[in-house]
Amino acid sequence: MPNQGTKRKRDHESSDSEPPLTTDMEIMLKAKQIMKRVTDNLVHTIIMHRDIISKINKMNTVNRKKAIIGIFGKSGEGKSFLLSAILGKKNLLPSGCFGACTAVITQVEANLTDSNYTAEIELFSKEEWEKELKDLLIVLSDENEDRNEDFIEIAEEKITALYGDDADKKTLEELKKDEKFAEIENLLSINKETGNSKKISKSDVSEFASDVARYILNSEACSGGWYWPLVKSVTIKIPDCRELMEHIVLVDIPGTGDCNKTRDDLWKSKLRECSSVWIVSNINRAITDRDPWGILKHCIEDLGPGGECKSINFICTKTDNMDPVDFMRAARLPEDQISEEKEQKKMCISQRNELAKTRVKEKFENSKIKKRFSTDNDFLQVFTVSSKAFFDTSLNLESIETEIPKLQDDLRSLNKSINRELTREYVNEAKGVLSLIQSVQLDTDKKTAETKHRIRMELENNLMKALNELDKYFDNIYNDLEQRLSKGVEESVQSCVASTKAFIMPIAYNTLEALCRKGGCHCPKNRDKVLNLNKTLAKHLHEYIDEDFCQIFSMSEKTGKSVQEQIDKFTIIQSDAAYRRSTIFHYIQNFIKTEETKLKTSLKRYIVDMKKDIYSSIKKSIVNEMVSCYEQAAAFKGPGCLKRMRNLLINTVDKIKQNMFNKAKMEVLKKCDNLKLHIKDVLESELKRAMDLSRSQTSKTKSMDVSKEIEELEGLLEQLSD
C-alpha cells in the first residue's frame, strides 16, 4: 500500500532488523511502546480528534474478568495440600482450609502487586451478625419434639466456634458478658469503615497461615475464637505465581447451602461463573463416594445450561497412601511378581491409578450429568495425584508420576491462552486506531472527503442489511423457544399437583419447615441430596427447552444455530465493496474491522452472562409466585401443622399453576427479546459512531504518518498467530 503524507523522522530501528519477540508479554509491551510513541506525537497535532486520544487511553484500562475454577470435595480429601503442591509451596495453605467450613467461600489467586501473602476477608456487618445471632439463639431455644436438628447443629457449631464450650447453652445477655463478645463487636465495628473487610498481609508464609486460620478453620478440639461464622468469603493472594494464576481464580465450592441466605446466594453466583470444575476425592473413594457426584448433580443447572462450565477435572488424591499386599490380593496379582518392595509399591500405585481413571470416565460417560453439557471427548480429564510425594522424594515417585506437573501445565496453558487473547485484542485494537489516524492523515482534499462520504453510505447500507439478518435469526429462535415452552407449560400444569404431592409427602415436618423457611430449597446437613421444590416445579419447562437452549447458547461447540456463531458472522465489510482498491478505504476498513472484533468480543461475554440469567429466570419466576406461600407455611406451629403445611403447598400450586407457568414462559421470552434488542442496539450505535470517527473533516494541514507503526502491529499479530 503506497504511503502518502508528510514523513516524520524516526529515532527507532526498522522493524525488519529486530528479532521476533518470544512471549505475549513482550508483544504486549512492544505494542504499548508503539502506542505511547504515537500518543506523544498526537499531543502536538491539534487537528486530531479528542476521541482518538480517548480511545488510546481506554485501551490501557481494560478490566477482564478472570477465569474461575470451582473445586468440589469434602474436608480431608487433600484439597489444601493439593493447592500448596500446585503452587509449589509446602504448607502454603492452612491444612483443612478448603472444606473445613462448608459455609465460607474461599478463593485463591495470584498477588500481582507485591511479594506478600495476603488475605482479604469479607465479614458480615455488625447489624447482620446481631440479627443472625438472635436467629441462632431462637433455634437453640426451640424445645419442640419436631424441631429442626440440622439448624440446631449449625447453630451450636457457630456459637461454640466463636464463644467457646457451652456458649450454645447461654442467653444473649449472658453471651454479652463474655469478653469474646466485645472482641467480635469491635472487629465488626472497625470493619464497617472499610466495607466490612479485613486484610492480612505477611511476607512469611507460616505467619500468614497462622493468622488466616482463625477466619477459615473450625476446631472441635479447641472451641472459641474461630471467626468463620462471621465470614462471607475469603480471597487468598499468593506471590510469585503469575505464570500459573495471573488470569485464574481457584474457588472452593461449599458442599451444601448455608442457612444464611447471603452465603447461599454467594455460593450460587460463584457456581454460575465457573468456566471449569475440579472434583477432588480420595482415590480409595473416587468411584463409590456419592458426595462429589451428588453435589455436582445438584449444581448441574448452574454449571451447564445456566452457567459457563467448559471442562471437568476429576482429581483422585492420596495415591501414595496404599498397602501393596492388600491391593495385589484384591486385584488377584501374584505377590512374588516383584521382589523389591519399593518397585512393588510403585507398580501397584500405577495400576490402581489407571484403574481409577478408567472407572471414573466410565461412570461419567454413563451418567445423566454428561447429557446436561455440550461435551466433547476432552470434557472430562482424570488426574491421579500425590501431593505428599511431590514434596517428599522418599515416597519413591518421580515428580511427573505425582501428576502435579500435569495439573500445573493445565493451569499454565489456560493462563497463557487468556494472556494470548488479551494481547491479541490489544494489538488488534491498536492497529485499528492507527488505521483511523492514517485515514485522517490522507484526508487532505475535497475529493477524498467525497470518497469518504460514499464509503460511509455504503457501510451504513451494509449495516442495515446485517441487522435485518440478525433480526430474522432471533425471530426464528424466539419462535422455537416459544413453541417448546408452551408444551412445557401444558405438561407442567397437568402434572404439578401430583409432583408436589410426591415431593412433600415423604418429608418430615422439621425438614419441610426448613425448606419453606429457605424459599423452597433445603440441603439437609450431612446429606448429598438437595431438596428443591422449585426445581421440581420447573422440571418440565427446563426439559422442553434444554436441548434447544444448549444449541442456542453453546459455550464451545459449533451447533449451526448458536448466538455466538451468529455474532461471529456479523460484518459490514463486504469483499465486493465499491472502493476496495482505494488506499483510504483500506485504512477505514482496518479500523471498522477492529471495531467489529472488539464489539463481538464484548457481546459474546455479555451473551454468556445473559444465558445464565435467561435459564435461571424460570426458577426465579416460580419462586416469586410461591414465596408468600412458603412464608405462610413456615409459620405454622402446633398440633396438625405438618398436614396444614402440606395442604397449603398443594392447594397453592393447584390454584396458581396456569398463571405461574405462563409467567415463567413469558419471562424467558422477554429476556430473549431484550437480548436481541441489546445486541442490535450496541452494534448499530457503536458501528455508526465508528463511521463518524472515520469520516473526519477535510484538513489543509497534514497529520502524522503512522503507516510504519501499522506495519509493526501487523507483524506482531502474525507472531501471535504463529
**620-645: per-residue pLDDT in tens?**
999 999 999 999 999 998 888 999 99
What percent of the chain clears pLDDT 90, i.e. is strictly above it?
Answer: 41
- The whole-model pTM stands at 0.85
pLDDT band for 99, please (50, 70, 90 cuts).
very low
Q: Which pairing describes strands 531-532 and 521-522: parallel, antiparallel, or unpaired?
A: antiparallel
Mean pLDDT for the stretch of residues 30-56: 75
Domain count, the chain: 1
> Do the domain assignments include residue 592?
yes
Average pLDDT over residues 460-477: 95
pLDDT, residue 5, reads 40
pLDDT of residue 518: 87
Which pLDDT band, with edges at 50, 70 and 90, does 18 fall under? Answer: low
**Segment 110-115 long-range contacts (CB within 8 Å, at least 24 positions apart):** 110/237, 110/238, 110/239, 110/241, 110/242, 110/244, 110/245, 110/246, 110/248, 111/237, 111/238, 111/239, 112/242, 112/246, 114/239, 115/203, 115/239, 115/240
Is 682 part of a structural domain of the chain?
Answer: yes
Q: Is the pLDDT of residue 338 over 60?
A: no
Q: How far from 208 is each of 230, 236, 451, 608, CA to CA, in Å?
A: 19, 10, 65, 37
CB of 75 closer than 8 Å to CB of 205: no
**Residue among 478, 499, 484, 495 nearest 542 (CA):** 484
**662 or 332: which leads in pLDDT:** 662
The arithmetic mean of pLDDT across residues 333-355, rounded, is: 78
Q: What's the pLDDT score for residue 696?
A: 60
Q: Which residue has the higher pLDDT, 527 or 637?
A: 637
In a domain, 385, yes or no: no
Distance CA 137, CA 155 (A): 7
Per mean pLDDT, which range of 45-49, 338-342, 411-415, 494-498 is the poorest? 45-49
- pLDDT of 252: 82
Q: Please write the tens of the pLDDT for every residue from 144-189.
A: 766 777 778 888 888 988 988 888 888 888 888 888 888 888 888 7
Among 685, 153, 66, smallest CA distance to 421 is for: 66
Quickly state the pLDDT bin for 108 (edges 50, 70, 90).
very high
Q: Is residue 628 part of a domain?
A: yes
Is residue 129 a contact partner of residue 184, using CB atoms and an 8 Å limit?
yes
In a domain? residue 664: yes
| pLDDT-based confidence at residue 60 (cuts at 50, 70, 90) | confident
656 CB-side CA count, 13 A: 18
Would 123 be classed as within a structural domain? no
**Which of 92-96, 99-103, 220-224, 463-467: highest mean pLDDT?**
463-467
Position 697 scores a pLDDT of 47
Helix-strand-coil split of the chain, %, nearest 5: 60, 10, 30
- Poorest-pLDDT segment among 57-71, 310-324, 325-339, 420-434: 325-339
pLDDT grade for 298, boundaries at 50, 70 and 90: confident
Q: What are phi and psi of 107, to 5 degrees?
A: -130, 150
In tens, the pLDDT along 532-561 reads: 999 999 999 999 999 899 889 987 778 888
Residues 6+ apart with CB under 8 A from 372: 300, 301, 304, 305, 546
> DSSP E strands: which ranges in 418-565?
521-522, 531-532
At residue 260, what is the residue type? Answer: N
What pLDDT does 193 receive? 55
Length of the chain counted residue by residue: 722
**What average pLDDT does the segment 338-356 reach?**
83
Grade residue 37 by pLDDT with cuts at 50, 70 and 90: confident
Computed over every residue of the chain, the mean pLDDT equals: 84
Label residue 195 by pLDDT band (50, 70, 90). Answer: low
DSSP 551-615: HHT-SSS--SS-HHHHHHH--S--TT-TTTT-HHHHHHHHHHHHHHHHHHHHHHHHHHHHHHHHH
For the record, the C-alpha cell of 346 comes out as 510403585
Enter the DSSP assignment of 640. Answer: T
243 within 8 A of 278, measured Cβ to Cβ: no
| Range ranked top by mean pLDDT from 46-50, 209-213, 566-570 | 566-570
| Residue 708 located in a structural domain | no
Supply the range of the domain harboring residue 524: 444-696
**Res. 271: pLDDT tops 50:** yes
Query: What percent of the chain is modeled with pLDDT above 70?
Result: 86
Q: Is the pLDDT of residue 115 over 60?
A: yes
Yes or no: say if 258 and 264 are a contact pair by the CB < 8 Å rule.
Answer: yes
| Confidence tier at 13 by pLDDT (50, 70, 90) | very low
Of residues 595 and 330, more confidently modeled: 595
Cβ atoms of residues 705 and 438 within 8 Å: yes
CA 403 distance to own-chain centroid:
25
